[in-house]
Structure 1
């Protein structure tokens, strides 16, 4: 049996990077995916402005080590990304004795479908020194 998920959506916020006790880097971000909203007859639902309405679902995505560092360095809020991974569920009991459940996507691969932000090491074009004219 296989547990594989493939999501394409937009980041809801900049990724957060933290380091666990064993020196494991962990990046987390929220990913919004949308689908067309349908009425009770299964027809596409239009909003008051005449635009096709959409339902958005939010997914929590976690990346580890090298992938986590790359995502944290280059991904920004609003970017379109593709995430391939697996669904991981957790169960715990809260302080009131109620069983709680959460689900997250453990990413194996993240592809940037829009341009990543520029690295801090890369000077912007306006900051770069003008090239010397070549003498012939």
Structure 2
């Protein structure tokens, strides 16, 4: 069973756009999301899109834009930082988004 996530929030910085080792486009960004209207400080989440959706994000989305993520799933990622320390994080892989 898999989980589907939906979120509405503001893009917190520039889109990190590039190509994977196998040539697919990717777009990474962080987004500020409030779980309820009374929440003073937003929660920050990392998102990634691939292929054609990444191209659309790169072309049409910038810092401060409001996005409606209509379908995404969580993925755990592991890597080694520049100092050689093992790191891990959770990001949301976006399958569908509405530009607002």
| Structure 2: gaps of 5 or more residues | none
- Count, aligned residues: 95
Q: Which has the higher contact order (CA 8 A, sep 6+)?
A: 2
Partner of 1:108: 95
Aligned equivalents of 1:24, 1:91: Cα separation in 2: 20
Judging by fraction of residues, say which structure has more strand: 2
Structure 1 length normalisation: TM-score?
Answer: 0.63
- CA shift digits 1:57-94 (9 cap, x unpaired): 11110000100000000001111101121011124566
Change (3 A) 1:91 1:19: closer
Partner of 1:119: none
Cα drift, residue 16 of structure 1: 1.6
Choose from 42, 58, 62 the match for 1:76. 62
Cα drift, residue 13 of structure 1: 1.2
| Structure 1: gaps of 5 or more residues | 38-53, 114-136
